Amino acid sequence: MKNKGIKNQIKQVFTFKDVYFPLENYHSKVFANGHMAFDFPQKWLYENCDEVSIEDQDKIIDILNGKDNSKSDLELTYKDATIYQNGKEFIIIRGWGHLTGCGGLNLNEDEAVIIQDDFANYIIEKLTKTN
């Protein structure tokens, strides 16, 4: 998380679950309530990615939405609104405009960062096996 100390100072009105669920996949573009949630990167736009098949994308969405309780063996890391698998872009977190825009939730940047970071950490937790 970018702003670890700030999280304790902010009274959040929204959590990532309020903003990012339920998730719906539209061929690599994932939406929540009509707003962008994240992308599965595609080679034509991101050189350093491994494309995820539509079938695997749908399974991931089911896991994140709680419809499938299985875990993957993925090793994921998070930095700057991007989740990486083995150093390659795996998921690009979206929705900044919805979080901060006056036509959206109009949150300040500190609140928006917390929500995006919490969402990314949730994705990693749900998709990674725990020992």
- SS3 per residue for the chain: CCCCHHHHHCCCCCCHHHHHCCEEEECCEEEECCEEEEECCCCCCCCCECCCCHHHHHHHHHHHCCCCCCCEECCEEEECCEEEECCEEEEEECCHHHHHCCCCCCCCHHHHHHHHHHHHHHHHHHHECCC
Q: Is residue 65 included in any domain, yes or no? A: yes
C-alpha span between 38 and 20 (Å, rounded): 9
How many separate domains does the chain show? 1
Domain extent at residue 19:
15-127
| 113 part of a folded domain | yes
CB 46 within 8 A of CB 84: no
* pLDDT for the residue numbered 111: 93
Predicted TM-score (pTM) of this structure = 0.87
Give residue 1's pLDDT: 47
Residue 14 is predicted with a pLDDT of 87
Tell me, what's the pLDDT at 131? 43
Could you tell me which residues are beta bridge partners of residue 25?
30
Residue 83 lies in a domain: yes
Mark the ranges of the chain whose per-residue pLDDT is less than 50: 1, 6, 131
Domain assignment present for 8: no
Residue 5: per-residue pLDDT: 52
pLDDT at 74: 85
